[in-house]
Amino acid sequence: MPTPVSPVADHLPEQLADLAASIAHSVGIRVRQMREGGVSLTGTKSSPTDIVTAADEEAERLIVRALVEARPQDGILGEEGASREGTSGIVWVIDPIDGTVNYLYNIPAYSVSIAATVSAPGAFFDGRRAISGAVYNPVSDELFTAWEGGGARCNGSAIRISDHGDLATSLVSTGFGYMVEDRTLQADVAAKLLPRVRDIRSLGSCAYDMCLLASGRLDAYYESGVHAWDYAAAALIAQEAGAMLLGRDDDTPPGGPLLVAAAPALAPLLRAAVTP
């Protein structure tokens, strides 16, 4: 006899997406309010350009508090150091402000990113995949959400990638790491790609970039050196909107070494153009 499926487990990804969305929204509003009082820098990480603000730290504290209250059995991994072991198998991967440099300069392209992930060896570079996620840009008031198998949405309406398959007429977005050595290589790759595409954008928030891709406002995105908290939620949103995600080669899952996202016809062409 088949094991009955619990209705709660059945709807869990959707419920977790709702939770992620509600926390990303409320914390995003707070992040935007804090910006009105100016930005206070509290430190740097990998290089002097890799900054941390008081708002990053406060936002991470608020997200962790809300998650622990709602789901005390889950683990948490946050960009600003949050780390909590769980027992449920679900680990929340959070970026309190993705696009911190934009936040510093008051450029309206930063977002709060929250994903519920499960262990899935080989799925992404860090061996986990998101089952639910939300990315909120509090300046544009765009709340992107997805759960596995449920499609992707912006402010509740279904979104879809551009389905563009031609590299030469693609608008491609990318980002740059904070380390000089990484940037030297990234600049080289971008310089070679630029004559081969419609144009390149660098918007400064991996999560927001991938949500724009998910809503058809960019044709492709690639970056090397991204961290799980940058892409965990947005990669699911892009995938659920129809994007194909690729890593450096067929044996390497998307993630740190390279993350390429685009329509299935375009992703392999872009990967070939950005790998030596």
Could you tell me where the beta strands, DSSP code E, fall in 72-216?
75-78, 83-84, 91-98, 111-119, 128-137, 142-147, 152-154, 157-158, 171-174, 199-201
Interacting positions 68-87 with ligand IPD (CB under 6 A): 79
On whether the CB atoms of residues 228 and 93 are closer than 8 A, the answer is yes
Cα–Cα dist 198/174, whole Å: 14
Q: Which residue, 13 or 254, has its beta carbon nearer to ligand IPD? A: 254
**Contacting ligand IPD (CB under 6 A), which of 28, 99, 133, 247?**
99
- Helices marked H in 127-246 — which ranges? 180-193, 206-214, 228-240
Which stretch in 58-66, 93-101, 188-196, 244-252 sits in contact with ligand IPD by CB under 6 A?
A: 93-101
Cα–Cα dist 196/70, whole Å: 48
Cα–Cα dist 29/134, whole Å: 14
Can residue 28 be called a binding residue for ligand IPD (CB under 6 A)?
no
Pick left, alpha or beta for residue 216 (phi over 0 → left; psi -120 to 50 → alpha; otherwise beta): left
Interacting positions 140-199 with ligand IPD (CB under 6 A): 175-177
Report which residue's Cβ sits closest to ligand IPD: 175
Q: Which residue, 61 or 160, has its beta carbon nearer to ligand IPD? A: 61
Report which of 228, 215, 192 is spatially closest to residue 114, judged by C-alpha positions: 228
Q: Nearest distance from residue 160's CB to ligand IPD, in Å?
A: 23
Q: Which residue, 95 or 126, has its beta carbon nearer to ligand IPD? A: 95
**Contacting ligand IPD (CB under 6 A), which of 57, 60, 98, 240?**
98
**Contacting ligand IPD (CB under 6 A), which of 53, 100, 117, 145?**
100
Binders of ligand IPD: how many residues, by CB under 6 A?
Answer: 15
Interacting positions 189-248 with ligand IPD (CB under 6 A): 204-206, 223, 225-226, 230
Contact footprint for ligand IPD (CB under 6 A):
79, 95, 98-100, 175-177, 204-206, 223, 225-226, 230
